[in-house]
Structures are given as C-alpha cells and as structure tokens.
Structure 1
Amino acid sequence: MEKTICASAALYELDTQMGGVYRSLVKASPQAQPELKTAQRGWLKTRDQCAADVDCLDQRYRERLQSLQKQLSETVAYKPLDVDKLAAEDLQQAIRTASNADPEFPMERALELLAIKTGTSRFSDVEDEDASEDEAHFPTTIPKGVTKDEWKALTASKIEGASESGKSSYTLMDLDGDGRRDLIVDTYAGGTGLFSYIETYRRTGDVFVRRTNSLGAESSSSSSLLSLNDRGANQSLDWINLRGRVYAAYRSSYYGVDQLYLLNPLEVTGAVPIVTVHYRYELSVPKIQKDEASGNSITLDNALHEALIQALGKVSKTEAKDIGEQKEPICPIPPSGEGDGDYYGYGPGHYTFEIVGDMPVIIGGQCYIGRMVDWFGNYSAKDGLGAQLVMRKPDLEDTERSYQVNGKRRMTDVATSVGKVEGDNGG
C-alpha cells in the first residue's frame, strides 16, 4: 500500500494534503478527537481495500480530503458574536432612518455614512509596455501610499501569486483594529459571469497571511472571502465601520429585495448577520419606447399602451415569481389542442436576467403570452428599475416583441437575521 502511494506523485500529494488537513482538524476540535480518530481508522480500512489499484486509491483520497476540508471549514468558521448582531441592528436602524428622507435608496444612503474613507492605500498590478493587455504583474517598486515596512512585508509574502488568475488591485486597510494595515486583494477573473474575487490577508509579524491559511494550502488556493458576479447577478461590496469594527458589507439583490451580509473580513465565513431590505414598485410602461434594432424612438398607440399596462397589473409588485409552467394555460388553448404546451408559460429563461412573472397580454381580442424580466433588481436614480415586458403569440414562432418597463420603488421593511451567505462563490 505505502509503496503504491509513494510511487505515484499524485497519490503522495493527496496523502500529504489529507494528513495536513486531518492534523489541523484534530487541533481545531480537541473535544472531538476520539470520534475523529475512530473515523480516520475506519477510512484507512476502506482505503486499504483498494490494494494497489491507483484509480481506486485516488478516488478514496479525494473523497476523504473533501470531507475533512468541509469539517475543518465548519469547525473554524467564524460565529457571529453579540457585537456583530448589534452591528446589524445598528445598520437596520440607519437604513430605517435614511428611508424617511429617501425611500428609494435607504440602504445606499446608510452605507455612504458608514463607509471607511480614510486610512487606506490602493494600488494595482502593472502592465508591461510590450505585453498584451491581459498580462500584468505585481509591482516591482513600492507604490504610492505604501510604507517601507508594508512593502517589505508584501514582498516577503509573495503576494504576486494572488494575480495568477487575473488582474488584481490591492487595498491596505486596518481590518482588525490592531493599528497595522491588512491587505485586500480584488482579482478580476472574467469568465461567463465576469467574476471578481475578493480575498484578505492579515498582517502578522513581518508578513501578510491569507485569511484561509488555517484550512490548509488546498483550500487557500481555491476559496475567497466573496465573489462578485457582474453578469447574471446584481452584487456589490462596501467596506464599513460599525461599533468600531470593520465589515465587508456584501450586497446581493433581486427584484424587490436587497440582502446585505456583514462579513468579518479576516475570518473563515460561516453564518453571518444579514440585513434584508424589502421594496414595493410602481410599474409603468413609457409611451415613447426606443426601438432596439434601429435606435429610433417610437410612440405606442393608445390601445397597445393600455394593454401593456393592464398586463403589468397581474405582476407582483414586491417579489419575483418564476414558477415555470403554470397549472392553467395563460392563453386559451384552441379547440384543436395543437401546440398546447406553448400556452402554460413563456419558455425557458437565461442566466443574465431574472424572471419576474408570466401573464396574458390581451390586444385587440387576441391573447399573447407575456413575461416581465429584470436584471436582478438593478436600480438607478435616473431610470429606476430596468425591466422589460416581452410577449409572443403562443402558437407562432418569431413573433416576440419587447417593451421597456419602468419601476419606482419605496422601501416597505427592513429586518435582521443570521444565516449563510447566498448568491456568492466565495468561502
């Protein structure tokens, strides 16, 4: 058995990783050592059944490593203290107060007041003049605003490895109140979701140590504090101060709701305080629409405009209701029953938008299948809610038409809770 493992570089690496994670888990949960040792002995017996089968051993090791890493992550994950819950209540009250003056943007106004505006320094990867646009590297000379002591620690910590998956920017900020600035790394990786990954490093002695260092090398290289998806989600990050503590305020939004998670920036994320803001919309259809194909403006006739407004009356004003195919047909099915599957829903969606709801649109006595979509509650001071109403004849192809929908929102409620972070690929 040992000869087979030592003869395979891949198995030897897995064995080393598993041993490191197991020792970290035993150290992190001394009260559970008897159970851990019993489970490990049981796994060793299962592993030994593979004999010299390399593929079997590889599978056993990967399964065990994944299980141990999950246990370790749950064991060392930060658990909210009373002060964290009080911080969430403070933010809740700040949002409620801001809503009195600005019911459209109460969360944004509260975050502006709490934002950390001083004591930070920022710099970015440097592009070589003769390199392609996508090639950049960690600075080789001390950036502006970075002290000599910090630069020495940065170079000693080999932080340049953080930018291997994309171009990175760096922020020095005191995240734990010890008087020494820690490091925030924001790496744009692109991809289908135009992802950015945020990770933090604690200043410890003469180096910066990654937040997930306690989870072992494998976890440290594959996890982040949080990720931001710029296509297929509506997310943002603010660094705020509440009760003398720094929080990464991670927002993930949908139609009618903002979820704001308060992350302890230097800890492994477990359950976190959550502030949830609910809104109600007043929806409307502009009579003057912009034709997407030509870019020209068109004016809707009165009958069509009224039909679209009537259709919006069947849409929820507070939450998205993507229920898939409905139990009853949206439009009457013809006596022939031909194509009856087209009558129960608009059809599949797409990851780049959010389905708010399907409804009938009646124009001149004809029934169209309608659907309102938005971009995950994306909202601006200029345009309000950005949304569309699309419609099609249920039994004909290439009949889709789309119309701009506007929405003005007002906050209806703000609440606090504790739970897991959703809508994020970090760790």
Structure 2
Amino acid sequence: MIGLLIVSIIFQRDYPALAWLRAFAEAGTVGAIADWYAVVALFRHPFGIPVPHTAIIPRNQARIADGLGSFVEQNFLTPEIVVDRLRGQNAAGAVAAWLVRPENSRLIACSVADSVPALLRSFDDQEVARFFERTVVPQLRTLDVSRLASNVLTILTKGDHHQPLLDHGLGALERWLVANSKVVKAKFSEASRYTPARFDAYIVSKFVEGIIALLHEAVANPEHELRQQFDAAVRELICKLQTSDDYRRVGKAWTRDCIRYLRQEDYYRILWERVRTCLIADIGSERSPIRDTVAAALASIGKSVLEDPGIQQKLNVWWLDLVRTVMLRYGRQISALITEVVQSWNAEEVGRKIEAEIGPDLQYIRINGTFVGGTVGVLLHAGALLLV
C-alpha cells in the first residue's frame, strides 16, 4: 500500500485520475498499520515500547485464567449438562462388551500387575512394622475369635457345606483303622491277657469291619443317625461359641498368642518378605497365575453384565448418580485447577503460542483491514468531490 501510495503521488500531476488510487492507498495504509498495531497489541508491546493497553493477553493472564475456569465450570461441568450428555449412553454395556474381549481384560490385568512390584518394593521393613503395630495389632486385639468362628460355622451349616467335612473325616478314620488294625489288636491283647491270640485277632477284625460298615452307612445315607449327631454337635458348638465366656476367653488367649508369635523375632517382617517375594516372582513370570486369574475374573464380570440388561440398567443409574455427585462436589475444584494451571503458564510464552496457532487468521485480519480501509478511503474521496 505504501508503494502504491508513492507511485500515485508521483504520477498524480500527470494523471489526475490517480487521485482515486491515492485515496485508496492512503486509507489502505492507515488500515493496515492500524490493524497490525491492534493485533500486535493483543500479544506484546509494539516495538517493545510499553504503550498503555498493549500486551493485553500477558497483562491480563490472571483475569483470563479466572474467566476460563468460570466458563468451563458454568458451561461444561454442571451436573445437568454432563448427566444429560451421558444419559443416553449404555456405559455399563459398552464397558462389559470391552471387557469380554480377552485382549482387553488381559491388558488391564497386565497393567495392574505391572504396577504391583514397584508398589511392593516401595514399602521398607520399618513401614511394614509401623503398619502392623498401628493397624493389624489393634484389629487383632478387638477381634472376637469365638463369635467369628461361630459365624463361619453358621454359614457352613446353612448350606450343608459342613457335611463334606464329615465325609472326609469318616474316610480318614476308615483309612486309619485299616492301616493300624495291628496296633488295635496289640492294644486289645494287652487289655485282655487271658484270651487266646486268635480270639483277640477275630474280635478285633470283626470290630474293625463293623466300624467300617458303620462308616460306609453314614457316608451313603444323608439321614444317618451319625450325621444327625454330628449336626447336633455342630449346632451346640455354635451356640457355645456365641454365648460361652469360656470359649471367648480361649479365643482371646489364642489372639494374644498369635500377636506374641508374630512379634517374636519380627516374624511379620519375614512373612511380609515372603509374600512380597512370591508375588513379585509370580507377576514377573511369563505365565503368571495372578495375571490369568485377574484377566479371567474381569472377563467373567464383563460377560455377566453383558448378559443381564437389569444389571446394566442399575449400573448405568449408579454411574449417573456418581457423576452427578462428583460434579456437585468437585466441579468447583476442577475449574479452580484450570485457573491455577493457566496462571502458572509463562505469560510471554502463552502469547507466542496463541499467536502462532491463529497466525493465518491474524494475517487475514490485517489484509482485510487494508482493503476495507482502502475502500473507505475511496468512498470518502467520492463524498468529498460531491460536496465540492
């Protein structure tokens, strides 16, 4: 524009029509310089001169940070906006479908497992000792072993899960009788010195056979009297564990012995070291049972959720309630975090980055300002001629 202005000034005397070009070039030059100044003033001081109301973005960084944080909070982090946006999404079904795929569940299992060794190594012996003394020991001291055992037995008896224990005990007794029949015979002979040895052997043999037959009957018949007596004994034991002071004192004594044993020679430290070594060795192996177990559990959970629309609906409702709670409780903290991060940026660096990102648009602003100014200059020149 400056070059065009110079040419029009030089040749206007010979070519009067260049007055129109001169008017365009003059106004275009002014428009170009004005827009250049305006754009530069947004980001820095023109020519480094601290002219008032320049370097607007760096000078107002704190206010911009506050405004940006408030804008995000009011327009993006409100519970209504976020929940309405997520309401139509079947998040539970999507996550379940993703987990069902073996490579995905394996990926999560490996990610979790890979982080465990570093976590385990971060705890030293002193920290383990403090954790044991401050957390485990107080819990052990308040533990009611008698009532805990009673609850465990109650759970077992409700589903008849204690019957396999009786079957196992009967089988063990049978094997012991068969393997130690000679010992039984010898003890019988010692107690009956005046009977013949063959008679003793016959009596013991029939005794063992009778006991084994009784055991077989008890195993085969769910309603056998022996089983009923066993059930009655278990119920009586449960009652005593719940109400008897003697059993409670025994449980407290066991707890004290356990604490004393763990404290002896830092046994808990040795136990922790063994657990840590085993876990790290398992996770570091190529075929880790822990990784396989976690991956299989995740895939199983995904399959169960995917096959049950009712569970998906409940999980989606829970998810939306959780999002609403998080937005209500932490929305302000998130916006405050945005404000703090923007305020921590270097003001000059921020200005340069923004200017670089929108540089082409800024250049078109300057070009458009040049032609708009030139057009206005031509119109003003035409208006001046009409008035004259």
**Fold conserved between structures, TM > 0.5:** no
Q: TM-score range by the shorter chain?
A: under 0.3
Higher relative strand content: 1
Higher relative helix content: 2
Higher RCO structure, 1 or 2 (CA under 8 Å, sep 6+): 2
Rg bigger for which structure? 2
TM-score, with structure 1 as normaliser? 0.17
